[in-house]
Structure 1
Amino acid sequence: MELIQDGCDVLLHLDAKRQYLVRVRSGEEFHTHKGVVRLGELIGKPYGVRVESSLGTVFHAFKPLPRDYAVKFARRTQIIYPKDMALIILYAGIGPGSRVVEAGTGSAALTSILAHHVKPTGHVYSYEIREELLEAARRNLERAGVLDYVTLKLGDVTQSIEETSVDAVVLDLATPWLVVGNAWKALKPSGVFASFSPTIEQVVKTVEALKASGFANIETFECMIRRYQVEAGRTRPETLTIAHTGYLTFARKTEG
């Protein structure tokens, strides 16, 4: 049984909308509108344990999942939502041993998910043009425990990609169509190009560039999910939902 250690992270779960990623340290407290949680009392307890706040509110101290780190990272930029991250992992075929080029590091939310899936023998090469974002990204990846599987790079992939024979190129950029040529050079035959774009105009330009460059199996998706409130006799979809966030375009590099 894995026990909570001093200096480890836990996800304090109250309900689906109130979850807090906190670091457990002896003598420290976490203050919420539902009372104070004494974090030191969690040390030596198993993950999933119930803990009461000073006001008697019950939380559960779960072991954080990769998605918990991704959505709760300190950030200055908008992140790709977990629903879209999941589709990227599946349709880009990213798994243990994959070598992936990513561009648009931002807070490293997607980077952390890519790194989690390529370990222990794969690697993510993540490009960012804004130097001021890289240090925060590094801290986030270190906290998530995946920094060893990522190389953070200050660079513009519309100009060049240094890596070759990679399994996937994943883009979260304003102009992905300008990267298609360099992505072709970086990918191994049958490798996957993947891009996230907020607007359909970006998608059209990207797909046209992919066709002109010889990519095949070009597909674009919009992923929407709906959370349900489940109670006997009162089950219904929640009023607020995450609908459109962007479009995902995938393509495969051909040979010959």
Structure 2
Amino acid sequence: MTEKIEIEVKNENDSIIAEGDDVILYLDHRRTYLVKAKAGRDFHTHRGYIKLGDLIGKNFGDKIESSTGTSFIILKPSLRDFALKFPRLTQIMYPKDIGLILAYTGIGPGWRVVEGGVGSGVLTAFLANSVRPSGRVYGYEVNERFLQNARKNLERVGLMDYVELKLRDIGQGIVERDVDLVVLDLATPWLFIENVWEALKPSGYFVSFSPTINQVEKTVEALRQGSFIDIEAIECILRNFKVKMGETRPETIMVGHTGYLVFARRISKDISSYAAKAEEKIREE
């Protein structure tokens, strides 16, 4: 049985590591390891092994030494740490793109969200964490293996209580109505715009994630024809910096293109022709 991880702080002794707690062993920014404090077990690295039982009783923020004397810093895992280390059967959406979805839509507690294309459950986890405790995420996925893997990942981080996973093609229709947000991570999001409109509440948000610009063009055109407004296409390029006084420069490795995000808002069909003309006028200016 998969163990749940309590992400939120529960009491004043939460900084003390107990048997079975999940821990990040931090060597440097590129080398971090998610392990479980467990007596009688060792974790092997290229810098020697660490007795996982020795983590018990230590505080997050302390250090622990490997068998070769290398120091690792002990950190409390964040949802980002867990999500990036989820077992995956698919490509995932990365935090840089997920962050834009959360910020642009303003998703919060109590929201009802439909996700088309659950994959490994990374985006699902962030959505569920945002809508809890009173909201819900409805995840549609056509691949049963992907769905079961996502379920295990969500159970591990204690978020499955806020998610309803469905083995269903979103092209067959979205069951839910008056939802706040629909997110599609699918190959052909433009084919489902009418289904999305039917599911969203007035002024609700649509978001799609697509790897190619051709997909973006087709999706945006479908939105323009489908009673949506405030349509925006975005690409997020993330560049880290190596900071040293007088010698600061970009890192040699950067996270470049991962995909394009398209955002839009649902409007009434009664005013869609007016809205379309207004948007077209703005594009021509």
State whether structure 2 residue 175 is matched by structure 1 residue 162.
yes
State whether structure 2 residue 182 is matched by structure 1 residue 186.
no
Of 230-239 and 169-178, deviating more is: 230-239
Per the TM alignment, residue 76 of structure 1 is displaced from its structure 2 partner at its CA by 1.3
1:223 aligned partner: 236
Q: Output the CA distance in 2 between the equivalents of 1:52 and 1:230.
A: 27
2:265 aligned partner: 252
Identity %: 57
Describe the SS at the equivalent of 1:133: helix
Q: Indicate conservation of the 8 Å contact 1:220/1:249, yes or no.
A: yes
Describe the SS at the equivalent of 2:103: helix
State whether structure 2 residue 140 is matched by structure 1 residue 105.
no
Q: Indicate conservation of the 8 Å contact 1:69/1:109, yes or no.
A: no
Q: Indicate conservation of the 8 Å contact 1:197/1:248, yes or no.
A: yes
Per the TM alignment, residue 233 of structure 1 is displaced from its structure 2 partner at its CA by 2.8
Q: Output the CA distance in 2 between the equivalents of 1:218 and 1:93.
A: 16
Describe the SS at the equivalent of 2:156: helix
Q: Output the CA distance in 2 between the equivalents of 1:47 and 1:195.
A: 38
Whichever of the two has the greater Rg, that structure is: 2
Q: Name which of 149, 152, 155 aligns with 1:142.
A: 155
Describe the SS at the equivalent of 2:253: coil
Task: Flag structure 1 segments of 5+ consecutive residues without an equivalent.
Answer: none
Post-superposition CA distance 1:63-104 (Å, at most 9, x none): 111111111100011101110010011112211111110011
Q: Indicate conservation of the 8 Å contact 1:103/1:157, yes or no.
A: yes
Describe the SS at the equivalent of 2:247: coil
Q: In the alignment, residue 155 of structure 1 is paired with which amino acid?
A: R
2:39 aligned partner: 26
Q: Output the CA distance in 1 between the equivalents of 2:19 and 2:191.
A: 47
Q: In the alignment, residue 76 of structure 1 is paired with which amino acid?
A: L
State whether structure 2 residue 142 is matched by structure 1 residue 129.
yes
Post-superposition CA distance 1:210-231 (Å, at most 9, x none): 1111100000100011111112
Q: In the alignment, residue 149 of structure 1 is paired with which amino acid?
A: Y
Task: Map 1:57-72 to 2 at 5 A.
Answer: 57-72=70-85
Post-superposition CA distance 1:108-128 (Å, at most 9, x none): 011111111111111111111
Q: Which stretches of structure 1, 4 residues or more, deviate above 3 A after TM superposition?
A: none
Q: Output the CA distance in 1 between the equivalents of 2:177 and 2:57.
A: 46
Q: Output the CA distance in 2 between the equivalents of 1:9 and 1:171.
A: 31
Q: Output the CA distance in 2 between the equivalents of 1:148 and 1:82.
A: 22
Q: In the alignment, residue 150 of structure 2 is paired with which amino acid?
A: A
Q: In the alignment, residue 174 of structure 2 is paired with which amino acid?
A: I
Task: Flag structure 2 segments of 5+ consecutive residues without an equivalent.
Answer: 1-12, 271-285
Q: Output the CA distance in 2 between the equivalents of 1:178 and 1:11.
A: 42
2:6 aligned partner: none
Q: Output the CA distance in 2 between the equivalents of 1:188 and 1:175.
A: 22
Per the TM alignment, residue 12 of structure 1 is displaced from its structure 2 partner at its CA by 1.1
2:278 aligned partner: none
Q: Name which of 186, 189, 194 aligns with 1:173.
A: 186
State whether structure 2 residue 208 is matched by structure 1 residue 195.
yes
Q: Output the CA distance in 2 between the equivalents of 1:45 and 1:98.
A: 38
Cα-Cα RMSD: 1.1
TM (normalized to structure 1)? Answer: 0.97
State whether structure 2 residue 223 is matched by structure 1 residue 210.
yes
Describe the SS at the equivalent of 1:158: helix
Per the TM alignment, residue 107 of structure 1 is displaced from its structure 2 partner at its CA by 0.8
Describe the SS at the equivalent of 1:12: strand
State whether structure 2 residue 102 is matched by structure 1 residue 89.
yes
Describe the SS at the equivalent of 2:170: coil
TM (normalized to structure 2)? Answer: 0.87
* Count of aligned pairs between the two proteins: 256
Of 21-30 and 186-195, deviating more is: 21-30
